[in-house]
Amino acid sequence: MNPGLKLLLVMAIALEISFTQSLIVNVILIIASFGYILIHRISFKALLGLILWPFFPALGLFVSQWLYGTAGIHFAWILFTRIYAYVFLGATFTLTSSITDLALTLEQDFRLPSKFAYGVLAAFNLMPKINEEVKIIKTSALMRGEALHFWSPKLYFKAILSSIQWSQNLAEAMTSHGFVEDQKRTHYRVIRITGLDWSWFIGLFAIVQGLLFFIRY
Amino acid sequence: MTDVSINHFTYEYPKSEVKVLNDVTITFKHNHFSLLTGPSGSGKSTLLYFIAGLYPHFIGNDALGSIKFGEVDVKQIPRNQISHSVAMMFQNPNQQFAMDTVIHELTFVLENMLVDPSKMDEIINHALAFCGIEKLRSRVINTLSGGEKQRVALACIVAMDPPVIVLDEPFASIDPDSRLDLIKKLKLLQQEHGKTIILADHDLNDYQGVIDEFYYLDPDSHQINLLAAPAAQHFFDQFKTTQTINKQVEIPAKGTPSVIDINDFKLQPHHSLLLALGKFKFYQGKTTLITGANGIGKSTLFNALTKLLPYEGTIEYSGKNIQKIRPLSYAKNVTLLFQDAENQFLNITVKEELDLSLKNRTNQAYTNDDVASMLKQLNIEGREDQVVYSLSEGQKKKLQIIEMLIMNPPVLLLDEPFKGLDYHSLEVVVGFLNRAKSQFHQTQIIISHQLSGLDPLIDYHAHFADQNLTYQEVIK
């Protein structure tokens, strides 16, 4: 499915289940997303992470609603499954779509300014460097006798300083690679939203509406 | 014909009286390989950025005078056409790509140039083949080594196919084989494809016999001169002498007490082996100089010693595995003077920086008078309230050295500490380091390309070559 449409669908469904209260639909969404992820053969480690990481926040919500809330255990289960529904819905996008494809479709089909699409992409590709930089900043601070933690303003000050420098360098590099804001570009890989994409989008969205309408438990 | 002519070109940084380039008038000839040299920070990059059409757009204030390609003023070329005239290769291999993989970057470049998609495959294949990197086609750029990245950068330029190519110290952090290979490729682009090449570098290795013209940016007059063959020869010779000192040093004798012990050690970032050491020691209270070609892995070794990079094997400090020493305690014992001074700064003003070192230092070895005297000797006194980031590169380096001396760690690693310092300041710093060693028993490990002037300081010399580090008697 077109990554742009997929993102839209995932966000729309996530928004909807925030305002509806159906335990069964949540479970159906979790199972469907889980199946979709499995088909795409993601790594076991990533899968395990998906199940474990949200467990404590979900459990926390469940327990506090169950013990201290007024709406009862049914609502507690809704909250619990909602967290997992968010995570698995999100994962159907993040684990199976490429950020490059998303940028391409946002530029070509969603008419987003190319500056934005490629700027985000470039920043995304800088992520590993940012991690390295944070490590350097922390080590360098230790050498001056200061332990910087993730809440230390100095860490952010230095990181932002580096980011400004990098974004400047990156903008220069993109310009020297012929990129000019708001200018026409050709496309080696044309990404279209096909009739099939639309059918999936509308079909799946309609099914979720149907489920939410008929299954109120 | 695309002579690149610079006419009465004058530039000064915003809010600064100092001219970086002062009434420069020169012509980089069509289809020539021109080398522009001069000390670090003298303004070579600035001129190249203007030639590439990146400045004034990215800097804010314009220069006086003009730059022309043939008869056309750079400023007359529309922004979406400029990359058909000139392309640039940058110093930092890590910050010149927008996309994730090599092939995506190359298509990105061609899309920007409005190339017909049906022709792209052929152009890309040719560019990759020319640079000898067909194998890198689908690789993720972040996983490539510096040398590979610069080859990809050259492939992008080959794909763009502009008549003028400018390069800003493109080999500063890549290995010698890549450097030599890229210089040959550039020569080929000039001779067989009619390109005009303008390259700035302060490292003069490998250019003799390759370049057609030698330009020198004089840091005092801020002017650029085309040098005749004998004068250029003089620079080549002089460069060689800064890279040598006539000093015999001892090979460490058996039983000399060591402070850092490296065992069964392997360093392989990017999955290529940089260094393999069975057993290696750095010695207590001595100054060890590490030499070796650019990009061979010297700084990477420092990164392993400071736990910034993973490695195989063990490193021991005073007999204890460094992975078992608490981070803060280790960092205050084995401290790195970063190559880039800004990495060391945590505060805003000079005074705050110095105060931080005085507050957190490991011992009280340096008195306030010592500090004042060091500032005075390096000529950076009276700048207490200045923002450190607004200091010149040389001043930053001096401040960085002083604040790390105040910290007075038992082991100080110094990565190119003399870069950007004039000769007198270098001698002063060598004096400081000698004092730290003789009075405070500091162990120093230095990476430096600049060798002249270091004679009084060096005790041992370790040469880095062929994935190995060995102590040698001669420094060359």
Residues B62 and B150 in one domain: yes
Chain B residues closer than 8 Å to A122 by CB: 98-99
B266-286: pLDDT as tens digits: 999 877 889 999 999 999 999
Which of B321 and A122 is assigned the larger pLDDT?
B321
- A172 and B346 within 8 Å at the Cβ level: the answer is no
* Stretch B118-139: mean pLDDT: 95
Residue B248 covered by a domain: no
For residue B127, tell me if it sits in a domain. yes
Q: Which pairing describes strands B334-337 and B411-415: parallel, antiparallel, or unpaired?
A: parallel
**CB contact (8 A) between residue B113 and residue A178:** yes
Q: How many structural domains does chain B have?
A: 2
Task: Judge whether B263 lies within some domain.
Answer: yes
* CA-atom Rg of chain A in angstroms: 22
What confidence score (pLDDT) does residue B86 get? 95
Burial class of residue B287 in the structure, from the number of CB atoms within 10 Å of its CB (0-12 exposed, 13-18 middle, 19+ buried): buried
Interfacial residues of A (vs B; Cβ cutoff 8 Å): 99-100, 118, 121-122, 125, 128-129, 135-137, 139-147, 154, 158, 161, 166, 168-180, 183-190
Position B390 scores a pLDDT of 83
Residue B94 pLDDT class (50, 70, 90 cuts): confident
pTM here? 0.85
Question: How far apart (Å, rounded) are the C-alpha atoms in residues B345 and B337?
Answer: 11
State residue B29 phi and psi, 5-degree precision: -75, 150
Interchain contact, A142 vs B308, CB within 8 Å: no
pLDDT score for A93: 93
Q: Is the pLDDT of residue A54 over 90?
A: yes
Full DSSP string of B158-208: HHH--SEEEEESTTTTS-HHHHHHHHHHHHHHHHHH--EEEEE-S--TT-T
Q: So what's the pLDDT on residue B226?
A: 95
Cα maximum dimension of chain A: 64
Residues B351 and B271 in one domain: yes
Residue pLDDT, tens place only, B212-271: 999 999 988 999 999 999 999 999 998 888 777 778 889 999 889 999 999 999 999 877
Same domain, B350 and B326: yes
Mean pLDDT of B21-41: 92
Q: Within this chain, do residues B153 and B271 fall inside the same structural domain, yes or no?
A: no
Which residues in chain A touch residue B412, judged by CB atoms under 8 angstroms apart?
none
What is the mean pLDDT of the segment spanning B75-80? 90
Per-residue confidence band for B98, with pLDDT thresholds at 50, 70 and 90: confident
Of B421, B55, B1, B114, nearest to A172 by C-alpha is B55
Cβ–Cβ below 8 Å for A176 and B96:
yes
Tell me which residue of B193, B210, B192, B190 sits closest to B201, measured CA to CA.
Answer: B210
The answer to whether residue B250 sits within a structural domain is no
Same domain as B174, residue B56: yes
The per-residue pLDDT of chain B, averaged, comes to 92
Alpha helices (H) along B361-476: 368-377, 393-407, 423-440
Q: What is the pLDDT of residues B417-470, one digit of tens each?
A: 998 788 889 999 999 999 999 999 999 999 998 888 899 999 999 999 999 999
Mutate to test the interface with A, among B48, B49, B99, B114 (most CBs of A within 10 A): B99
Query: 């492939």: which residue's tokens?
Result: B155
Partner-chain residue, chosen from B79, B346, B389, that has the shortest CB–CB distance to A144: B346
- Burial of B429: CB neighbours in 10 Å, binned 0-12, 13-18, 19+: buried
A-B contacts (CB, under 8 Å): 145
Of the partner residues B80, B90, B95, the one whose CB lies closest to the CB of residue A166: B95
Beta-ladder partners of B36: B200, B215
Measured between CA atoms, the residue of chain A closest to residue B360 is: A145
B chain contacts of residue A186, beta-carbon cutoff 8 Å: 110-111, 114-117
pLDDT tens string A63-104? 999 999 888 899 999 999 999 999 999 999 999 888 889 999
Tell me if B253 is assigned to some domain: no
* B341 and B215 within one domain: no
**Region A42-67 average pLDDT:** 91
CA distances B141 to A96, A125, A199, Å, are 21, 9, 36
pLDDT of A144: 94
Q: For residue range B149-195, what is the model confidence (pLDDT) as tens digits?
A: 999 999 999 999 999 999 998 987 788 888 999 999 999 999 999 99
B248: distance to nearest CA of chain A, Å? 33
Q: Pairing relation of β-strands B33-37 and B213-218?
A: parallel
Same domain (yes/no): B298, B410: yes
pLDDT of B145 reads 83
Q: Which two tokens stand for residue B421?
A: 């310092």
Instruction: Report how far residue A56's alpha carbon sits from residue A13's, in angstroms, rounded to the nearest whole number.
Output: 23
Output the six-digit token pair for B247. Answer: 């000093």
Are B439 and B359 found together in one domain?
A: yes
Report pLDDT for B296: 85
In a domain, B424, yes or no: yes
Task: For residue A213, report the phi and psi dihedrals to the nearest 5 degrees.
Answer: -75, -45
How far is B200 from B202, CA to CA, in rounded Å? 7
**What's the alpha-carbon Rg for chain B, to the nearest Å?**
24
What confidence tens digit (pLDDT) does each residue in A140-159 have?
999 999 999 988 999 999 99
Name the residue among A139, A158, A174 with its Cβ closest to that of B331. A139
In B, minimum Cα distance to A172 occurs at: B54
B340: domain CATH number?
Answer: 3.40.50.300
Helix (H, G, I), strand (E, B) or coil at B231: helix
Q: What is the pLDDT of residues B357-387, one digit of tens each?
A: 999 998 899 999 999 999 999 999 889 999 9
- In this structure, the answer to whether residues B75 and B31 fall within a common structural domain is yes
Q: Which of B155, B74, B85 is nearest to B113 (CA)?
A: B85
Q: Residue A174: list chain B partners with CB under 8 A.
A: 98
Q: Is the pLDDT of residue B1 over 80?
A: no
Does residue B171 fall inside a structural domain?
yes
Q: How far is A173 from chain B (nearest CA, A)?
A: 5
A61 contacts: CB under 8 Å, gap ≥ 6? A76, A79, A80, A83
Q: Region A26-50: what's the mean pLDDT?
A: 91
Beta-carbon contacts of A217 under 8 Å, excluding residues fewer than 6 positions away, are A22, A23, A24, A74
- B426-429, Cβ contacts within 8 angstroms, sequence gap of 24 or more: B426/B450, B426/B453, B427/B453, B428/B377, B428/B378, B429/B378, B429/B398, B429/B401
Size (chain A), residues? 217
Q: How far is A215 from chain B (nearest CA, A)?
A: 44
Same-domain status, B235 and B291: no
Out of B58, B100, B114, the one facing A185 most closely (by C-beta) is B114
Last residue of a domain, one of B242, B275, B293: B242
Distance set, CA B327 to CA B194, B323, B364, B411, B413 (Å): 55, 8, 22, 15, 16
Chain B hits for A129, CB-CB cut-off 8 Å, are: 94, 142
Q: Which residues pair with B262 in a beta bridge?
A: B280, B315
B252, part of any domain: no
Residues B302-320 pLDDT 10s: 999 999 999 999 999 999 9
Q: Which helix (H) or strand (E) holds B291?
A: strand B287-291
Q: What is the 3-state secondary structure (H, E, C) of chain A?
A: CCHHHHHHHHHHHHHHHHHCCCHHHHHHHHHHHHHHHHHCCCCHHHHHHHHHCCHHHHHHHHHHHHHHCCCHHHHHHHHHHHHHHHHHHHHHHHCCCCHHHHHHHHHHCCCCCHHHHHHHHHHHHHHHHHHHHHHHHHHHHHHCCCCCCCCCHHHHHHHHHHHHHHHHHHHHHHHHCCCCCCCCCCCCCCCCCCHHHHHHHHHHHHHHHHHHHHCCC
Give me the residue label for tokens 């290995």: B175
- Angstrom CA distances, B258 to B44, B280, B285, B326, stand at 43, 10, 9, 21
Q: Reduced to 3 states, what is the DSSP secondary structure of residue B318?
A: coil
Shared-domain flag, residues B194 and B309 = no
Partners of A128 on chain B (C-beta within 8 Å) are 142
**Smallest Cα distance from B185 to chain A, Å:** 19
Residue-level pLDDT at A183: 87
Task: Write down which residue in B189, B217, B242 finishes a domain.
Answer: B242
**Residue numbers in A near B109 (CB within 8 A):** 177-178
Dig out the tokens for A183 from the structure.
Answer: 């200018």
- Classified as helix, coil or strand, B338 is coil
Shared domain check, B275 and B233: no
Encode pLDDT of B383-415 as tens digits. 999 999 888 888 999 999 999 999 999 999 999
Beta carbons of B177 and B145 less than 8 angstroms apart: no
Domain extent at residue B411: 258-472
β-bridge partners, B444 = B287, B412
pLDDT at residue B34, as a whole number: 97
The predicted structure's pLDDT at residue B476: 67
Nearest residue in A to B336, CA atom: A143
Q: Which of A140, A158, A179 sits opposite B338 (nearest CB)?
A: A140
To 5 degrees, how large is the angle CA B50–CA B55–CA B58? Answer: 160
Q: Chain A contacts of B110, Cβ < 8 Å?
A: 186, 188
Domain boundary, last residue among B242, B270, B304: B242
Percentage with pLDDT > 90 across chain A? 65
From first CA to last CA, the distance across chain A in angstroms is 31
In which element (H, E) is residue B264 found?
strand B258-267
Whether the CA torsion B119, B121, B125, B128 is positive or negative: it is: positive
Q: How far is CA A110 from CA A8, A125, B109, B112, B236, in A?
A: 11, 22, 22, 19, 57
CB contact under 8 A, A136 and B308: yes
CA nearest A152 in B: which residue? B346
